[in-house]
Structure 1
């Protein structure tokens, strides 16, 4: 399945156009390699997604073409989640 479609179907990112934009900006890696929106993903692949100040590492557990909201959370597992510190907050 295409990376952008997986991100939308799994509801990690709500819109496919946003998933495509993030991937094409180089903010997603698949198994350590920079990925484009058209990259194929498979079960057991590991994604690292950079959202602004948050970085998530996700393992793909299953690929389903269409899902309901409650089924989507079974498609992946969050392996790690980290946040960059905002240095501006402490400078007041």
Structure 2
């Protein structure tokens, strides 16, 4: 499954076009490498997303073409979620 579609179906990012823009700006890494929106995902991949004020790191658990809202969070597991203020304290 494509990265942008996974982010939309799992409801991490609400719109596929927004997911595509984020990926194309170099704000998403898969297993430590920069990813394009068309990058194929596999179960077990680690995705790191740099939002404006936080960094989200997740592990892919399932790949589904469509899902209900209550089942969307079963597609991934949150490894870490850091806000910008937490990141500044680490420096």
Q: TM-score normalized by structure 2? A: 0.92
Aligned-pair CA distance for 1:50:
0.5
Q: Which residue of the partner structure matches residue 3 of structure 1?
A: 3
Q: Which residue of the partner structure matches residue 44 of structure 2?
A: 44
| Aligned-pair Cα RMSD in Å | 1.1
Aligned-pair CA distance for 1:83:
1.1
- Pair 1:27 & 2:23 matched: no
Q: TM-score normalized by structure 1? A: 0.91
Give the paired residue count: 86
Aligned-pair CA distance for 1:43:
0.3
Q: Secondary structure at the match of 1:85?
A: helix
Q: Which residue of the partner structure matches residue 90 of structure 1?
A: none
Q: Which structure has the larger Rg over C-alpha atoms?
A: 1
Q: Which ranges of 4 or more aligned residues in structure 1 deviate by more than 4 Å? A: none
Structure with the largest fraction of helix: 2
Q: Which residue of the partner structure matches residue 67 of structure 1?
A: 67
